[in-house]
């Protein structure tokens, strides 16, 4: 028997390695799907709220959450994220709202990347 770094015992060369690899692949796929269902919205006003983002983008599909990124003293960094339940909703939002006007600003709406 050999010990893995997480302390679980598995047979050397056994099916455990395949199961761990499949589990890692599934987790990676889930993260990729979450990223594809998440959009970044740039060029918001400093006054834009999560509720306003939710209201503006809900027509494209069910939203899990909307976030306006804020720094010290809750001052907006003028961008945010919306996580939709489906990739299709995210694509529709990007197609319809990228380059559109919202609260006097021209929005940049794009797929969130894992680096964002």
Instruction: Look at the pTM and tell me if it is higher than 0.75.
Output: no
- Return the structure tokens found at 2: 């050999």
Which has more confidence, 58 or 114?
58
What is the tens place of the pLDDT at every residue in 50-96?
Answer: 999 999 999 999 999 999 999 989 999 999 999 999 999 999 999 99
Residues 6+ apart with CB under 8 A from 57: 39, 63, 66, 82, 93, 97
């Amino acid at each position: 028997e050999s010990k893995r770094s997480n302390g679980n015992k598995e047979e050397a060369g056994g099916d455990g390695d395949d199961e761990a690899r499949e589990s890692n692949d599934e987790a990676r796929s889930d993260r990729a799907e979450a990223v594809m269902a998440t959009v970044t919205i740039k060029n918001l006003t400093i006054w834009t709220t999560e509720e306003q983002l939710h209201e503006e983008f809900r027509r494209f599909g069910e939203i899990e959450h909307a976030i306006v990124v804020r720094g010290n003293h809750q001052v907006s960094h003028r961008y945010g994220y919306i996580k939709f339940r489906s990739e299709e909703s995210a694509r529709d939002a990007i197609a319809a709202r990228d380059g559109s006007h919202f609260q006097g600003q021209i929005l940049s709406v794009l797929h969130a990347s894992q680096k964002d």
